[in-house]
């Protein structure tokens, strides 16, 4: 069993745009340990969004190998990828991506529906994780009845509910004011410490990156070794 929860070797991704081939990743390799908190940074067009899609099992590389929690996922079918994604990856997005007509409890319960099982147990699990992110009093509120910071807490609870191997957070503080953004970062770091969940944050914000354990800089489809820094 690999010591790495993320083990990506020589990833390439080529998109065909009409007659032109666009090389989004050019042999990128990256390893992330269980429980690590890392930031991924890079300018627009650097390949970081493509990398996030592959690490999150939303897409496959053109070439290269990717193991998630010791499971080879780089060659799986779409259905197999979807299954892995539901079991092993939690997503937190800048825009929250909540169902507007559903309560906080129903939003968090949604990933568990794909797993099946008893609806009472699902509801209990969803309630417990909402309580863990400080929303025990907001179970039956819809997104429009919650602040931005509270909506992001619902999104974090939804990401955690399946006990994933990794959480992919794409600009998780980008739509929040400074105070709410700081609270969300505190929450993510506390959950990482308490639960040991590996946290991968894609961000443009150097203040967010400074609070992670390691920053990986992506440029021209590879890791920019000159800029990779501990901290």
Query: Which pLDDT score is estimated for 113?
Result: 84
For residue 139, which of 105, 169, 173, 187 has the smallest C-alpha distance? 105
Query: Which pLDDT score is estimated for 119?
Result: 84
Helix or strand run (H / E) with residue 35: none
Query: Which pLDDT score is estimated for 126?
Result: 95
The answer to whether residues 133 and 156 touch, using CB atoms and an 8 Å cutoff, is yes
Q: Give the chain's radius of gyration (CA, Å).
A: 18
pLDDT digits (tens, 9 = 90+) for 12-25: 999 998 999 999 99
Q: Give the contacts of 196 (CB within 8 A, at least 6 positions apart).
A: 34, 35
pTM here is 0.90
Whole-angstrom distance, CA of residue 81 vs CA of residue 87: 10
Q: Which residues of the chain have pLDDT under 50?
A: 1, 229-231
Query: Which pLDDT score is estimated for 228?
Result: 54
Query: Which pLDDT score is estimated for 1?
Result: 44
Q: Which CATH superfamily is domain 4-230 in?
A: P-loop containing nucleotide triphosphate hydrolases (3.40.50.300)
For the chain, domain boundaries: 4-230
Query: Which pLDDT score is estimated for 2?
Result: 59
- Burial class from Cβ neighbours inside 10 Å (0-12, 13-18, 19+) for residue 196 reads exposed
């Amino acid at each position: 069993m690999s010591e790495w929860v993320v083990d990506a070797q020589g990833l390439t991704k080529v998109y065909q745009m009409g007659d032109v081939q666009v090389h989004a990743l050019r042999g990128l390799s990256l390893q992330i340990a269980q429980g690590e908190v890392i930031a991924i940074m890079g300018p627009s067009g650097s390949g970081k969004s493509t990398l996030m899609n592959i690490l999150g099992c939303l897409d496959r590389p053109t070439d290269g190998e990717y193991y998630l929690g010791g499971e080879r996922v780089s060659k799986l079918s779409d259905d197999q990828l979807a299954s892995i994604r539901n079991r092993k990856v939690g997503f937190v997005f800048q825009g929250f991506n909540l169902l507007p007509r559903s309560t906080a409890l129903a939003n968090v319960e949604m990933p568990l529906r794909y797993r099946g099982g008893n609806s009472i147990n699902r509801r209990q699990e969803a309630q417990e994780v909402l309580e863990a992110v400080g929303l025990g009093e907001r179970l039956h509120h819809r997104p429009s009845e919650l602040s931005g910071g509270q909506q992001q807490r619902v999104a974090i609870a939804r990401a955690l509910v399946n006990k994933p191997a990794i959480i992919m957070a794409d600009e998780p503080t980008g739509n929040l004011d400074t105070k709410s953004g700081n609270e969300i970062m505190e929450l993510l770091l506390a959950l990482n410490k308490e639960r040991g969940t590996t946290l991968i944050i894609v961000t443009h914000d150097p203040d967010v990156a400074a609070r992670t354990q390691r920053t990986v800089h992506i440029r021209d489809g590879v890791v920019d070794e000159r800029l990779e820094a501990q901290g």
